[in-house]
Amino acid sequence: MPALLQLDKATIRFGGLTAVSELDLQIGRGELVALIGPNGAGKTTAFNLITGVYQPTSGAIFFDGQSIVGQKPYRITARGIARTFQNIRLFPSLSVFDNVRTVFHLHLRGDVRHALWRGQGYHAEEKSIAQRVLELLEIFQLGKFRDEPAKSLSYGDQRRLEIVRALAAEPRLLLLDEPAAGMNATEKVELTRLIRFIRDKFQIAILLVEHDMQLVMGIGERIVVLDYGVKIAEGSPEEVRANPKVIAAYLGD
Amino acid sequence: MNFRHAKTILLAAWGVSLLASLAASRINPYWLYVFYDIGIGIVMAVSLNLINGYTGQFSLGHAGFMAVGAYVSAVITNQCGDLSMFAANGIFALALLAGGLSAALAGLLVGIPTLRLRGDYLAIVTLGFGEIIRVLLQNMDKVGAARGLSVMHGWTNLFWTFGLAAVTVYVVAALVNSTYGRGFMAVHDDEVAAEAMGLNTTKYKVTAFVVGAFFAGIAGGLYAHSKQFITPGGFGFMQSITFVVMVILGGMGNTIGVILAAILLTLLPEGLRMLAGIEHLAGFSANRPLSWLGETRMIIYSLLLIVLMLARPQGLFSRKRNAPVK
């Protein structure tokens, strides 16, 4: 069985700058992998390659054995890769409920005509969607905010809602882009617990981009370290922590 | 919003329009035409609201789509002589549909190349499109060029005007109040996030443009067959602005508010006109003491808009919650 996500020598250049260079990366089903590196190492660029925001200059990207190079971001999401953003990007004026509900169009059987005709099937489908949205919100203790506009939530709740929204796409791979950004120590502990919980409850693979070493060391089962677009180390937290290259990259020579 | 009885409400609206239409001969003709203007205003504003309000695209060319519908339907009905009531209404329905479809096609043509543009840039392009339509019509001798086109049949009536206004409201409301349609608002809020959440944002934007243009074309047909005379100048930039004002005043993305704004903004100039026409007023010696209202009617209208926007920037009929997000 092929790996869930596989990058083969994925490279992207912006003019003379090679942001990500020949990156090999494999993520298996249900795995929790962390991608770390100092600022400007190419972590978010690697993320954007996987989600189709950027196209690789060379190299290949496979999801579940099939190439996803050249596909639009929305198609890649439909295939089972969902993401969150470094600087939260919710739908601010939509309610908490609608933020999640919007994503359920991926699982709709009907299309526009369904919505216009509003027959029995339509109402039944909308009802089951509402139920599933509420279930998801309840799991993450967001049910009580269902009718509030997303922008009125606290920072931590917005982060959580963004993750719930991504989960609504029923992904097999969840990409989290610096989820700990702007969080205090208590919130980070909470987040660690949340990420583990998601992996176990939903049985999905998670790729985490983060530069908070402590958080990563706490949850990453496998850690990939990027520096200047090149993979300099890969392994368990202990291995990575002891790797002289990693120490050099983070602390300077 | 509970939308379970939407189809029942739609049917009821048709019934009422039909009854009103049958009683039209008892209504003062002046008011009848004001009612037509209100219905047409509702169709225009509600359809524009799908593009500008819900989907967050800024179109300034809605009158251009209206022009397409007006001319196409007028050219079709002008081929017909006097018809029985039944045949006339049948032909009229087909002509309106043809006008709507032509406008929708125009919407598709404008929509596709302009989708990369946002905000001000999109506004300029749609503005340019509206002007192209106007100038093209001005130079088409077959439809009277700048002299305008006489429309033989005054087939617009209360049934078609308000029946179709009800259809417009139904379609827009049914679209945005579905799981599929929440995508329009998602595109409005954050296009990048919408795309990342699996929404084909291009398709949503084109859909908004095409559906909006379709109903603008229908409104154009109603307009042509109510005024019975259309000129390219009647579908200019200022017309588009009028509809944009209705959408903003009603509250972007608030269908009920936009309907009320369309009614208010159609009645306001008429009301001022009537005040100006009052012959005598207690306490005034002059004949027509308020006649100055007639000359300054449009200034008062504009001032009222400024005051309303200062007092209710979120839209006259919007609750704060629905205010556009900065």
pLDDT of residue B3: 60
Q: Which of A5-9, B62-66, B95-99, B289-293 has the lowest mean pLDDT?
A: B289-293
Instruction: Determine the Cα–Cα distance for residues B2 and B208; give it in Å rounded to an integer.
Output: 23
Instruction: Determine the Cα–Cα distance for residues B64 and B69; give it in Å rounded to an integer.
Output: 9
Instruction: Name the CA dihedral angle for B245, B249, B252, B257, rounded to a multiple of 10 degrees.
Output: -120
DSSP code, position A94: S
User: pTM of the prediction?
Assistant: 0.89
Give which of B2, B189, B205, B322 to mutate to test A binding, by max A Cβ within 10 Å: B189
pLDDT at A1 over 80: no
pLDDT at A131 over 90: yes
Give yes or no for B320 touching A (CB within 8 A).
Answer: no
Q: Which of A33-37, A211-215, B136-140 has the lowest mean pLDDT?
A: A211-215
**Nearest to A114, CA basis, from B71, B179, B93:** B179
Residues of A in contact with B4 (CB under 8 A): 123
**How far away is chain A from the Cα of B134, in angstroms, using its nearest Cα?**
32
Q: Do B180 and A108 make contact, defined as CB atoms within 8 angstroms?
A: yes
Residue pLDDT, tens place only, B222-251 = 999 999 999 999 998 888 999 999 998 888
For the residues A192-206, what does the mean pLDDT come to?
Answer: 91
The CA distances from residue B181 to A92, B58, B176, in Å, are 17, 18, 4
pLDDT at B119 over 80: no
Give the H/E segment covering residue A36: strand A32-36
Residues of B in contact with A106 (CB under 8 A): 198
For the residues A97-110, what does the mean pLDDT come to?
Answer: 89
- Ordered by where they begin, the domains of chain A are 5-80+171-251 (3.40.50.300)
Output the CA angle B164-B166-B172, nearest 5 degrees: 100
